[in-house]
Amino acid sequence: MPKAGPHRVQPATPAPGGDTDRRLAALEEVHRALQRRLEEAEETLLAIRSGRVDAFVIDDPATGEPRVYSLEGADRPYRTFVEHMQQGAAVLSTTGTVLFGNARVSEMLQCPLDQVRGKPLATWVSEEEHSALREMLEKAHQGAVSGELRLARSDGTTVPVEVIVSPLPLDGGSTLCAILTDLTVQRQHEALLHAQHALRASEERFRAVFEQSSVGLAEIDLGSRRYVRVNAAFSAITGYTNAELAACAPEDLLHPADRAEVGHHWYPVRGGTIELRNARVRVLRKDGSEIPVDLSVGLLKQSNGSPPVALQSIVDLTQQEKAEAMLREADRRKDEFLATLAHELRNPLAPISSAVEILRRKAPPIPELQWSRDVIERQIKQMTRLVDELLDLSRVTRGQITLRREPVSLADVIRDAVETSAPLIQERGHHLDVVLPEQDAILHGDGTRLAQVFSNLLNNAAKYTDPGGRIELRATLRENAAVVLVRDNGIGIPATVLPRIFDMFTQVDRTLERSQSGLGIGLALARRLTELHRGRIEARSAGQGEGSEFVVNLPLADASEREGPDLRPHGTMEVVSRRILVIDDSRDSADTLAMMLALAGHSVRTAYDGANALQVGCAFNPEIVLLDLGMPKVDGHETCRRMRQQPWGAQSVIIALTGWGQPEDRRRTQDSGFDHHLVKPVDPYELTALLANPAQRSATETSVT
For binding to ligand ADP (CB under 6 A), which residues are involved? Answer: 456, 460-461, 464, 488, 490-493, 501, 506-509, 515, 518-524, 548
DSSP letter assigned to residue 254: B
Cα torsion angle, 326, 332, 333, 338, sign? positive
Which residues, 6 or more positions from 280, have their beta carbon under 8 angstroms from its beta carbon? Answer: 292, 293, 294, 295, 317
Residue number with CB closer to ligand ADP (543 or 569): 543
Residue number with CB closer to ligand ADP (295 or 461): 461
Query: What is the rounded distance in angstroms from the CA atom of residue 576 to the CA atom of residue 692?
Result: 6
CB of 337 to ligand ADP, least distance (A): 19
- In DSSP terms, 471 is beta-bridged to 432, 488
CB of 681 to ligand ADP, least distance (A): 21
CB of 497 to ligand ADP, least distance (A): 7
Residue number with CB closer to ligand ADP (341 or 359): 341
CB of 454 to ligand ADP, least distance (A): 13
SS3 596: helix
Q: Which residue is nearest to ligand ADP (CB)?
A: 518
Residue number with CB closer to ligand ADP (156 or 467): 467
Query: What is the rounded distance in angstroms from the CA atom of residue 514 to the CA atom of residue 401?
Result: 30
Burial grade of 199 (CB within 10 A; 0-12, 13-18, 19 or more): exposed
Are the CB atoms for 636 and 658 separated by under 8 Å?
A: yes
End-to-end CA distance of the chain: 116
Residue number with CB closer to ligand ADP (98 or 491): 491
Residue number with CB closer to ligand ADP (53 or 342): 342
Residue number with CB closer to ligand ADP (437 or 494): 494
One-character DSSP codes across 336-381: HHHHHHHHHHHHHHHHHHHHHHHHHHHS---HHHHHHHHHHHHHHH
Residue number with CB closer to ligand ADP (507 or 621): 507
Are the CB atoms for 584 and 608 separated by under 8 Å?
A: yes
Residue number with CB closer to ligand ADP (119 or 540): 540
CB of 456 to ligand ADP, least distance (A): 6
Query: What is the rounded distance in angstroms from the CA atom of residue 593 to the CA atom of residue 573?
Result: 20
Residue 511 has phi, psi (to 5 degrees) of -65, 145
CB of 413 to ligand ADP, least distance (A): 19
CB of 509 to ligand ADP, least distance (A): 6
CB of 382 to ligand ADP, least distance (A): 12
Are the CB atoms for 639 and 612 separated by under 8 Å?
A: no
CB of 510 to ligand ADP, least distance (A): 8
Residue number with CB closer to ligand ADP (460 or 652): 460
Query: What is the rounded distance in angstroms from the CA atom of residue 278 to the CA atom of residue 262?
Result: 11
CB of 419 to ligand ADP, least distance (A): 19
CB of 547 to ligand ADP, least distance (A): 7
Query: What is the rounded distance in angstroms from the CA atom of residue 137 to the CA atom of residue 607?
Result: 125
CB of 345 to ligand ADP, least distance (A): 16
Query: What is the rounded distance in angstroms from the CA atom of residue 526 to the CA atom of residue 421?
Result: 15
What stretches of 517-623 adopt beta strand conformation (E)? 536-540, 548-555, 579-583, 603-607
Nearest CA-CA partner of 684 in 573, 546, 609, 581? 573
CB of 522 to ligand ADP, least distance (A): 3
Burial grade of 109 (CB within 10 A; 0-12, 13-18, 19 or more): buried
Residue number with CB closer to ligand ADP (541 or 652): 541
SS3 522: helix
Nearest CA-CA partner of 613 in 597, 595, 599, 634? 634
**Other Cβ atoms within 10 Å of 525 Cβ, number:** 24
SS3 437: coil
Residue number with CB closer to ligand ADP (368 or 513): 513
CB of 467 to ligand ADP, least distance (A): 14
- Taking phi over 0 as left and psi of -120 to 50 as alpha, with beta for the rest, 628 belongs to beta
Are the CB atoms for 281 and 313 separated by under 8 Å?
A: no
Residue number with CB closer to ligand ADP (490 or 622): 490
Coarse DSSP helix, strand, coil percentages of the chain, rounded to the nearest 5 percent: 45, 25, 30
CB of 517 to ligand ADP, least distance (A): 8
CB of 347 to ligand ADP, least distance (A): 23
Residue number with CB closer to ligand ADP (518 or 649): 518
HEC profile of 612-670: HHHHHHHHHCCCEEEEECCCCCCCHHHHHHHHHCCHHHHHCEEEEEECCCCHHHHHHHH
Residue number with CB closer to ligand ADP (259 or 474): 474
Query: What is the rounded distance in angstroms from the CA atom of residue 556 to the CA atom of residue 407?
Result: 10
Residue number with CB closer to ligand ADP (222 or 493): 493
